[in-house]
Amino acid sequence: MERVAQIDRKTKETDVKLSLNIDGIGKHQIDTGIGFFDHMLASFAKHGRFDLLLTVKGDLEVDSHHTVEDVGLCLGGAFSEALGDKENITRFGQACVPMDEALVLAAVDLCGRGFYFGELAGLEEAPLGSMDGQLIPEFFRSLAYRGGITLHVRVLCGANWHHVAEAAFKAVALALRQACSRDDSAGVPSTKGTLD
């Protein structure tokens, strides 16, 4: 059974069209209007092996906040929809990604309860092209909340903010890839019999 989702979300602030295939090969076509964010999402798709098509028309004349937050909500919703009842998945995933001097750890639980905790070592204050660094935790928070994902991201070390941010997106992608991987003997991977 294909694990795919299509999300269209239109508000007065953004118009998001997103297509996700969890079992893809990392094909991506992304246009959010925010160059650095597009680069991070391309890394996310490529290393998670998620096929991701995404276009956004957002109120960038205000700032990037609504666009980044709504992409997180839509991507989280797509994961939730594509995974369905989450039967026969691994459920947990973790990855530690080095990028030159940067090292970032991510851990996920596809438990159905959205929760985000991040220790980003000052990344929130970083200028990242046209993207404000404080939007990185906003993206991860929105992804976790709407996706029903418990997500932890911790920067272990790093000095170059581009490297830190990119390692974070790659680590989250790899952790999600592991958690979404099929385990045909797992059933619903919970002693409760349900993930919510």
The gap between the terminal CA atoms of the chain, to the nearest Å, is: 22
Domains, the chain, ordered by start = 4-180 (3.30.230.40)
pTM of the model: 0.94
Cβ 139 vs Cβ 173: under 8 Å: no
pLDDT in tens, 116-171: 999 998 888 888 988 999 999 999 999 999 999 999 999 999 999 999 999 999 99
pLDDT in tens, 7-40: 999 999 999 999 999 999 999 999 999 999 999 9
